[in-house]
Structures are given as structure tokens and as C-alpha cells.
Amino acid sequence: MRNKQKHKHSQHQTACNGHFSPKGNRCAKKYTQRPWAQWLFPAAGLASLLWFLLRVIPKPTRATYPCQRVAFPLASGFIAWLIAAACSVKAFHKAKRHFHRRRYVLAAMCVVLSLAAAFLAISAAGQKPALAVDPTPNAPIGLARGVNPGRVVWAHDPNATDWVGPDYEQRWWEAISQTVVDDMLSQMIRLLAEKPTDGQAWEEIFRHFNNTKGKGDIGYQSGEKIMIKLNLVGLHFGWHNVDPNGDQIVGIDDWGGIVSLDRINTSPQVTLALLRQLVYDVGVDPCNITVGDTLTRFPNQYWDPIQAEFPGVKCLDYYGLPGRIVPERSTTDFIYWSPKSKSETVPTCFAQADYVINLTCLKGHRNAGVTICGKNHFGSLFRTPRDFWDTWDDSYLNLHNYLVTSQFGMGYYRPQVDLLGCQHFDGNAVLFLVDALFCADTEISEPVKWDMSPFGSDWPSSLFASQDPVAVDSVGFDFLWTEFDGTNDSGVPHIDGAEDYLHEAAEANAPASGTFYDPDGDGIGLASLGVHEHWNNAAEKLYSRNLGIGDGVELLSTPLKLSNDAYGMAALASNWLRQDCGSSNGYCDGADLDFTSTVDLGDFALFAQTWLEDTY
């Protein structure tokens, strides 16, 4: 009986390959024996080899393309398998020949050689991508940043999105409620700074940032410039899917595939909501705001609503669509890549900005595992679209060679850290916003509905905000890790090393890689860029500051909105003079409107100002 149990357990471990799902102690994948399964690896390897040769021989620089970096390991593994299999067969035939001639020693040596070669062939066919181990919960590293250190605010409202899905006439950006998004962002800004109005919250955010930068105890000053970096990578991969008038159309990408119009980018609605806050609540002149992605188009679904309300805002477009501006190269401002003595100039829109706002998406990434704030600035460099992937000469550092699919595991140089720390990029960022209204499992995939709690097979319809870039990316990583586990998707957040850049950034002063991170080239290494931590579990989503056990991340959901009617009055009355209001109880059901931990006349005055209005 013991032997049978042991054999059964061994079979289970083999079938599971030693990996378990993050959603429970069950097999992440179940493999069953099928007659055709043994030929999957040779077939995939042969196809990868042919694809690699057909693409790379005419143009060797294509070897650095993402698709070729994926194909090369399969192709090389196929060659190794082919050689090993051939050697095994050859050695076996020689063994038979020596045995018939009674050369038993030589026959035995050939048998051993044949078995060894066969083992190598089987090993090559069984290789799988390295997967990361489950994250350790509530073990923060690094130094938290922000007016409320380590705070990440999460707004979730299912009413923000109403879309049937891909392949319908309605596009994803046409199915977002601008009113709901405006309200979500307003609640987030106030909760991030714990101030009762949007204007006061922004004043606190700018004042804190200027204090930490040594600019004095001041808020935003008239005339200062702001650069808003969007993530429009879905347009970067389809250069021909925007016509000369700025309308997005079906086109062909660089590899001959049809470009999907439903690839996710930062949404027009979140972009417009942010602009409204900056102009109406902060007092920024629209002429002092630049928005866009230096490597992509800026199509009409963004251009039209912005220009209708804020015609002075400068919108970037790599090819210079009508009314847009083409990014220009600074001649005096540089980013210095830490692993080599290489540098490159930055765009003037970043070099001349007094503040940067990193407004990105929440997605998986085929080469980096995840793409959130840390990778958004890959689209902030002044490179032609193709130079972004290829280095035509040796002047650029090929950043994709330092992502996890090129260097699996932890403790390596990661270029996201240089971008997070550079004085022209996130070293100058006053705020980090993550648009998760729609999310995808890779950077160019179509969006999918989310199954994890609390989404219930619906669009995530979420936004995240923080002044700590490492903290907000850590929260985003936990969401992506949980949702995209490889069950019905690519599972790329589980690639071994996907969170390495977060460790390197949190401990940039003494990283595991030993890299001296100095993106400003001044000989002064980076300090910690923020705090990294994983939540306790996907159901509760609690971090060390939520639990009161450490100085790591604090994840707060926007408080329950107090309705501006009789129901809101009743909620205000039921919590009247309570003095224990805080994030743990939803700020007394949303009645603590001024975040003083007490429901009193201050909250009543704010409530009265918006009596019977649609929104706060």
C-alpha cells in the first residue's frame, strides 16, 4: 500500500511539474498523455527555426525583435534535440554492430552513449519557461514615498465601462463614461492627500513634491510646465492604422499581421479627466501642458475631446498629424544608462517640464512580465520606432535585452530603474496614475473581463493613484499576478523575474544586482525609489500599513460615495460626531468628507454645498 501511495504521489508531481496555482494548492496545468503530444516540441521547434532563419538572414538586426527572442530558444532547443536524437540513433546502431562482432566493450560504450544522447533529446523536448515562485506576503522592502507614504488609492466603479467586447462596431474607447471617470479621479485625489476638495488635495500633492525636491514649501506656480506621459503602445505597433486625418483604421503591423483596433492604451476619458483637474482645480494654463507618447500617433479619439475643451494643450505625434507637434530632441539633457558608458538625449518636452505625470495602463507584457509605470517611459525616448527595437549602430543601449525574457530570475540590472530615477522622467514625477478601466494579458492584446474578486467576470473598471511609483506598481503586479495566472491567458506576470525591477528600484541604493544606478550621470547613486510589498492574499488585499504591522504599502479604496440627497443626509446623521472615522471603516460610510476622523459641522458644510447635485 505504501508503495502504491508513493507511486501515486510521484505521478501527481510529474503531471504538475512541481508548479501550483496562485489561486490555491492545485495543479496550475494538468498534462495528459496523448499520442500526438510527443511531436509538439519538434513541430514547434522546426517552425521556430524556419521563422527565425527566414526573418533574420535577410536582416540580422531582426534577431532583437521580440518575436525572434521568443522563437530563438525554441529553435535552438530543436537543434539540440535533433542533434541529440541523431547521435542516439547512430550510437545504438554502432552498438549492435560491435555486439555482433563480439566487441563487447565497444558495444557497451556505444549503448551508454546512445542512452546519454537520448536523455539529452528528451530533456531538450521537455524544457519549459522558468516560472517565479509565489510572492512572499507582507514583507516590505525600500522606503515609502508620498504625502501619505506608500499610499495607493484604488477606485473601482463598474459603471465606468459598458462595452460588449472586441470585434463589435463600438470600440472600447467609445464605451467609457466620462462623468463616472471624472468622479473616480476626484475621489482618488482627495483620498490620496486626505483633503476635502480637489484643489486642496492638488495643493498638498505639489507642495509635498516641491519640499522633497528642495524647491521650498510651495505648490504649483503659474507658468510651470507639465508633461503627461501616456501609454499608447497599441498605436506604436500599428503605424499604418491611423489615416492622414487622424482616424484609427484597420491596418497592417510591421510583421504583416492585421492590427486590432481594440488594443488597449491609456483611455481618452482618463486623459481628459486629468486635464480638467489640472486646469480647473490647479490653475495650470493649457498652453503649459504637453500630453502624449513620443513614439506613437495621437489619433482623433484623443485629439478631438482635448482640443474641444483645451485647444492650447500640446499633443505629441511622432509623424506630425495635423495640429499635433513632433517631439524634438534636447541637445543638452541626457539619460545615462547604468550598466554601460552609454547615454542619449531626452525629448525637450521632458527636459523642459517642471513636473511629469506618469499616466499608464495595467497590462501584462511578453518580455517584461508586466507593464505599468516602470515601463511606461520606454515610450519616452527619442528613438525612431525601429531604433526602439533595433540598434542600427552601437549608440543606443537596447533596453529589451535587459528584460526578463533575456535574463530570467532576480538580481539583474533592469532599465526601468534608470527611468524611474532619472531627473527628466519619473525622478520629476509628481503623480503616478494607472488606467485599469480595461486590461489585457500582454501589451498588444485585446482586453478581457476579469474573474478575480471583486470584478465577477466584468471589466476591471478601475483606476490607481500614488506618489510612490514602486508601491503603485507593486499593487498593480499583485492584481496582474492573480488574474493572469496562465489558466486561460499567457500567464506572463508569472515569468521568473517579472518583479525584479521592483526589488531593484526599492533597493536602488544597494540592489541585489550590484548595479550602481546613476541615470543622471552625476556620480551620485540613486536612493530607494519607493516601497515594494505583496498583499496578504487576493481576497482581502491588505498590505503592512493596512494591517498595522509595517511601513510598507497602504492600499485604500475610495470611500463609499455619500449620495447628495435624503439618503446622504441620513448617513451623515447616523454617523454624527463619531470620532473613529478612517480608512478601516470607509471614513464612516463616506460621511467624513473632510478626512478629519470626525463627522461634524465641517462635513455638513461640504455636504450642503453639493445638495442635490449629481456629483461631489
Q: Is 397 helix (H, G, I), strand (E, B) or coil?
A: coil
For 463-483, write each residue's pLDDT tens digit.
999 999 999 999 999 999 999
Specify whether the backbone of 167 is left (phi greater than 0), alpha (psi in -120 to 50) or beta.
left
The mean per-residue pLDDT over the stretch 74-80 comes to 59
Confidence at residue 488, expressed as pLDDT on a 0 to 100 scale: 84
Q: Can you give the length of the chain in residues? A: 616
**pLDDT (tens digit, 9 = 90+) per residue, 85-140?**
666 666 666 666 766 666 666 666 665 666 665 555 555 444 445 677 889 999 99
Ranges of H-type helices in 194-267: 198-212, 233-236
Looking at residue 342, what is its pLDDT? 86
Q: Which residues pair with 464 in a beta bridge?
A: 154, 434
* pLDDT for residue 12: 37
Instruction: State the cell numbers at 41.
Output: 516540441
CA distance 31 to 37: 10
Lowest mean pLDDT among 450-454, 557-561, 612-616: 612-616
pLDDT at residue 133 in the model: 82
Q: Which residue has the higher pLDDT, 94 or 77?
A: 94
Q: What is the pLDDT of residue 5?
A: 41
pLDDT of residue 227: 98
pLDDT of residue 393: 53
pLDDT in tens, 394-429: 677 888 889 999 899 999 999 999 999 999 999 999
- Tens of pLDDT, residues 491-517: 999 999 999 999 999 999 999 999 999
CA pair distance 25, 252, nearest whole angstrom:
43
Average of per-residue pLDDT across 260-275 = 95
Give pLDDT tens digits for 299-357.
999 999 999 999 999 999 988 899 999 999 999 999 999 987 789 999 999 999 999 99
pLDDT digits (tens, 9 = 90+) for 146-199: 999 999 999 999 999 999 998 778 999 999 999 999 999 999 999 999 999 999
Q: How confident is the model at residue 20 (pLDDT cuts 50, 70, 90)?
A: very low
What stretch of H or E contains 522?
none
Residue 370: strand pairing partners: 364
pTM score of the predicted model: 0.78
Is 90 exceeded by the pLDDT of residue 73? no
State how far the Cα of 75 lies from the Cα of 64, in Å rounded to an integer.
Answer: 15
Beta strands in 520-609 (DSSP E): 531-532, 554-557
Mean pLDDT of the 544-566 span: 85
CB atoms within 10 A of CB 238: 24
Q: How far apart are the first and last CA of the chain?
A: 69
SS (H, E, C) 307-363: HHHCCCCEEECCCCCCCCECCCEEEEEEEEECCCCEEEEEEHHHHCCCEEEEEEEEE
Is 50 exceeded by the pLDDT of residue 32?
no
Mean pLDDT of 568-582: 83
Cell reading at 178 = 466620462
pLDDT confidence of residue 435 = 98
Mean pLDDT value across the chain: 82
pLDDT at 546: 93
Burial of 566 (0-12, 13-18, 19+ CB in 10 A): exposed
pLDDT score at 71: 56
CA-based Rg of the chain, rounded to a whole angstrom? 27
Quote the pLDDT of residue 327: 93
Comparing C-alpha atoms, which of 412, 388, 417, 408 is closest to residue 400? 388
Domain ranges of the chain: 33-125, 141-557, 566-609
Question: Is the Cβ–Cβ distance between 289 and 314 less than 8 Å?
Answer: yes
Q: CA-CA distance, 179 to 162, in Å (whole number)?
A: 13
Q: 39-53, 379-393, 404-418, 600-614: which has the highest mean pLDDT?
A: 404-418
Task: Report CA 551 to chain centroid distance, whole Å.
Answer: 24
